[in-house]
Amino acid sequence: MMSLVTFTRNNALPLLRTSITVRIQLNSASLSSLVRLEEKQGYAVVAMHKPPVNSLSLEMIQALSESLSELEKNKCKGFILTSACPGIFSAGLDIREMYQPTEERLKEFWSSLQTLWLQLYGSKMASVALINGHAPAGGCLLAMCCDSRIMVNGKSKIGLNETKLGIVAPFWFKDTFVNTIGVRQSERALQLGSLFTPDEALKIGLVDRVLPDPEAATAVAESELKEFLQIPAMARYLSKMRIREAALKDLLENREKDLNTFVNFATTDAVQKGLGIYLQSLAKKN
């Protein structure tokens, strides 16, 4: 099978005052084809590639986790998280993972998602989400885990729309949301399952910049990441943790409980019925 992990090497110069030369030696052979990793000068680009919509299946979640681990192993200082699927950042959790699941897979799915969130939200690396398409629910969560969000203008929307599916954003999704846009906006948007246009998202602070096209957004994402990378790494990371550590600790201490809550909730008849109807409505569209 052709490897979709693209990896270009060049003579990287250090971007960080505090770092030694950033040279990422990615082990492309062991990485999944669902995520494309590209080495740039002193940082990496992590591009999700699971057409058509980058839905977060168990395999996709694990591929993202492995990619981050690979970057950490190689002492990468920062990355841009984006999508290689035109018009879509990520459609969020793969709903088929939650619909009529086996208990074993459902548990592995959720546990892998917890791991990915802990890894991404607590990452020592600086990160910028280059949101080049729709980012509902889990897609929005991935973007919020980054240190900065640059969105391409257009028809795409971003937000936590869980209630529209008859499900409830877990407490750590909510914590991430509150840490990003504040309590009042979160309370309203979570209940309504609001999806925001890029300009609306900018207004409430869900994204930091909106650019007219992917090229302009890419350039801004790169310069934004470089700005983060110029700050002494330890000071930057510890400052980020001042905001994030309570939420991270909460999930770390309640992982098992959260897993059981999810499994019990997701397998109720009402939720299964709702997910079935939602999947049908997505299929009917086509």
Residues known to be catalytic: 93, 138, 161-162
Neighbour-count burial for 87-100, b at 16+ CB within 10 Å, e otherwise? ebbbbbbbbebbee
Select the residue interacting with ligand LMJFFPRB from 31, 45, 47, 53 (CB under 6 A): 53
Rounded to whole angstroms, the Cα distance separating 62 from 94 reads: 13
Please check whether residue 63 is in contact with residue 32, taking contact to mean a CB–CB distance below 8 angstroms.
Answer: yes
Residue among 26 and 35 whose Cβ is closer to ligand LMJFFPRB: 35
Q: How far is the CB of 163 from ligand LMJFFPRB (least distance, A)?
A: 10
The DSSP string of 59-84 is: HHHHHHHHHHHHHHHTT--EEEEEES
Assess 175 for contact with ligand LMJFFPRB (CB under 6 A). no
Residue 185 phi, psi (nearest 5): -60, -40
Q: Which of 132, 170, 207, 217 binds ligand LMJFFPRB (CB under 6 A)?
A: 170
In the complex with ligand LMJFFPRB, the residue whose CB is nearer, 237 or 265, is 265
Q: Give me the least distance between CB of 55 and ligand LMJFFPRB, in Å please.
A: 4
Residue nearest to ligand LMJFFPRB (CB): 92
Nearer of residues 10 and 286 to ligand LMJFFPRB, judged by Cβ: 286
Q: In this structure, what is the dihedral angle of CA atoms 268, 271, 276, 277, given to the nearest 10 degrees?
A: 140
Cα angle 18, 23, 26; round to 5: 135
* Nearest residue (CB) to ligand LMJFFPRB, 157 versus 236: 157
Q: Which of 25, 52, 223, 234 binds ligand LMJFFPRB (CB under 6 A)?
A: 52
How far is 120 from 173, CA to CA, in rounded Å? 13
As given in the structure block, the two tokens for residue 100 are: 């009529």
161 binds ligand LMJFFPRB (CB under 6 A): yes
Asked if residue 122 binds ligand LMJFFPRB (CB under 6 A), the reply is no
Residues 279/95, Cβ–Cβ less than 8 Å: yes
Which residue number, 82 or 161, has a Cβ lying nearer to ligand LMJFFPRB? 161
The strand pairing partners of 81, in sequence order, are 46, 129
Beta strand 78-83 with 87-88: parallel, antiparallel or unpaired? unpaired
Footprint on residues 82-101 left by ligand LMJFFPRB (CB under 6 A) = 88, 91-96
Q: In what order do the strands lie in the sheet with 148-152?
A: 35-39, 44-48, 78-83, 126-131, 148-152, 209-211
Residue 261 interacts with ligand LMJFFPRB (CB under 6 A): yes or no: yes
Site map (CB under 6 A) of ligand LMJFFPRB, residues 2-41, x = contact: ----------------------------------------
CB 209, min distance to ligand LMJFFPRB, A: 22
Q: Which residues bind ligand LMJFFPRB (CB under 6 A)?
A: 52-53, 55, 88, 91-96, 134, 136-138, 161-162, 165, 167-168, 170, 261-262, 265-266, 282-283, 285-286
